[in-house]
């Protein structure tokens, strides 16, 4: 296990904070559902928005009735800032090793058990956090119906297939390689790394090795896709970013077809990748969909056979028109 342990991308923390950290006030409710947030490692250091809307006026997971919100703090080598591009790539390779991801998933399982939740949680994963949630399901939930382990899984921009993983890796490298180029002018590194990850084989030995590592993850993900296709499909929401060409993050995103689970509920989030987990308020289209979906799962706690349907009022958007 790494000597450095981190809560959310970009913020260091003492080793004692490597755990589930409660983000909700103490509640006297007898019946509640844990919503466990698992963040990404690509948070933009110059982005003013907060992941999940935490520490803003609209911390949306806490707005869902009967919910208790926690954040899973995990080890991430790539989170150190002010690194060169090559150092970021090497650190990223450490983070995506199969044994590292399995270790994180085991820690998540242990902390869920230690949390002592009276009800099965809802997992919400963003980017790399989604990869950890998927591995958790493969390793610790594969022999059970979905309702016996968790209420549901919400994925925000989690990369899938080799093309999605390349695009995600590009985002991580560009947002972390601060010492070589300013994020105020990302066009130069967009061209270099963009070609490396989206238009062919990488040009350096380091990038070639990363390409092979990403290919291994894509193969591992097939286990998750296979095991959830029939049993879990109605318990997974797969959110993908849609942004205008005028966005300052227009080059830093993952295409919809590479950031969704094919058999899951596919939900449009009309924001760029780096801002997609923070909503503007209760009238935000993405928030209304996600909160309604999670609320539907919570209402069906005692009925393992029922799943969200049209009567729940959940608006699911098609991937393409």
User: Is the model's pLDDT at 124 over the cut of 90?
Assistant: yes
Return d(Cα 236, Cα 137) in angstroms, integer: 11
- What's the confidence (pLDDT) of residue 204? 66
- Given a contact cutoff of 8 angstroms between Cβ atoms, the answer to whether 202 and 211 are in contact is yes
- Tell me how many degrees the CA angle 96-131-68 measures, rounded to the nearest 5: 130
Pick 219 or 206 by higher pLDDT.
Answer: 219
- Give the full edge-to-edge strand order of the sheet including 236-241: 20-22, 67-72, 33-38, 122-126, 152-156, 236-241, 265-269
For 1-5, 195-199, 230-234, 263-267, which range has the lowest pLDDT when averaged over its residues?
1-5
By CB neighbour count within 10 A (0-12 exposed, 13-18 middle, 19+ buried), where does 317 fall? middle
User: Is the model's pLDDT at 312 over the cut of 50?
Assistant: no
The pLDDT tens digits for 8-26 are: 433 333 333 446 666 766 5
* Mean pLDDT for the stretch of residues 66-90: 79
Residue whose pair of structure tokens reads 């070639």 in the numeric block = 208
Return d(Cα 241, Cα 276) in angstroms, integer: 6
Q: Give the DSSP per-residue string, 102-161.
A: HHHHHHHHHHHHHHT-SS--EEEEETHHHHHHHHHHHHHSTTS-GGGT-SEEEEES---H
Identify any residues that bridge with 236 across adjacent strands, giving them in sequence order: 153
Looking at the chain, list the stretches that DSSP marks H as alpha helix, in order from N- to C-terminal side.
Answer: 85-95, 98-115, 128-140, 161-176, 187-198, 205-228, 285-299
- What's the confidence (pLDDT) of residue 294? 93
Return d(Cα 230, Cα 212) in angstroms, integer: 30
DSSP structural state of residue 310: G
Specify the pTM.
0.79
Cα pseudo-dihedral 290, 293, 299, 305, rounded to 10: -150
Return d(Cα 120, Cα 187) in angstroms, integer: 44
- What's the confidence (pLDDT) of residue 117? 52
- What's the confidence (pLDDT) of residue 169? 92
- Given a contact cutoff of 8 angstroms between Cβ atoms, the answer to whether 289 and 315 are in contact is yes
The pLDDT tens digits for 266-300 are: 999 988 898 899 998 999 999 999 999 999 888 87
User: Is the model's pLDDT at 113 over the cut of 90?
Assistant: no
Return d(Cα 304, Cα 302) in angstroms, integer: 6
């Amino acid at each position: 296990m790494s000597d450095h342990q981190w809560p959310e991308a970009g913020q260091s923390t003492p080793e004692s904070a490597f755990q589930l950290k409660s983000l909700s006030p103490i509640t006297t409710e007898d019946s509640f559902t844990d919503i466990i947030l698992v963040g990404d490692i690509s948070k933009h250091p110059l982005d003013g928005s907060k992941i999940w809307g935490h520490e803003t006026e609209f911390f949306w997971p806490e707005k869902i009735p009967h919910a208790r919100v926690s954040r899973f703090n995990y080890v991430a080598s790539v989170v150190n800032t002010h690194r060169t591009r090559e150092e970021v790539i090497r650190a990223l390779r450490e983070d995506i090793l199969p044994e590292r991801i399995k270790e994180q998933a085991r820690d998540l399982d242990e902390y869920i058990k230690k949390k002592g939740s009276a009800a099965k949680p809802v997992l919400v994963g963003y980017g790399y956090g989604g990869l950890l949630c998927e591995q958790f399901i493969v390793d610790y939930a594969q022999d059970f119906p979905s309702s016996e382990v968790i209420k549901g899984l919400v994925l925000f921009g989690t990369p899938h297939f080799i093309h999605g993983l390349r695009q995600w890796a590009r985002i991580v490298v560009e947002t972390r390689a601060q010492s070589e180029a300013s994020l105020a002018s990302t066009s130069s590194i967009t061209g270099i790394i963009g070609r490396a990850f989206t238009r062919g084989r990488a040009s350096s030995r380091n990038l070639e090795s990363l390409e092979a590592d990403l290919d291994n993850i894509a193969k591992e993900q097939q286990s998750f896709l296979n095991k959830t296709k029939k049993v879990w499909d109605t318990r997974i929401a797969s959110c993908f970013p849609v942004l205008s060409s005028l966005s300052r993050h227009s080059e830093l995103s993952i295409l919809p077809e590479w950031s969704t689970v094919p058999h899951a509920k596919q939900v449009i989030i009309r924001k760029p990748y780096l801002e997609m987990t923070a909503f503007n308020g209760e009238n935000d289209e993405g928030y209304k969909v996600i909160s309604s979906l999670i609320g539907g799962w919570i209402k069906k706690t005692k009925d393992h056979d029922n799943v969200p349907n049209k009567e729940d009022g959940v608006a699911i958007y098609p991937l393409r028109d």
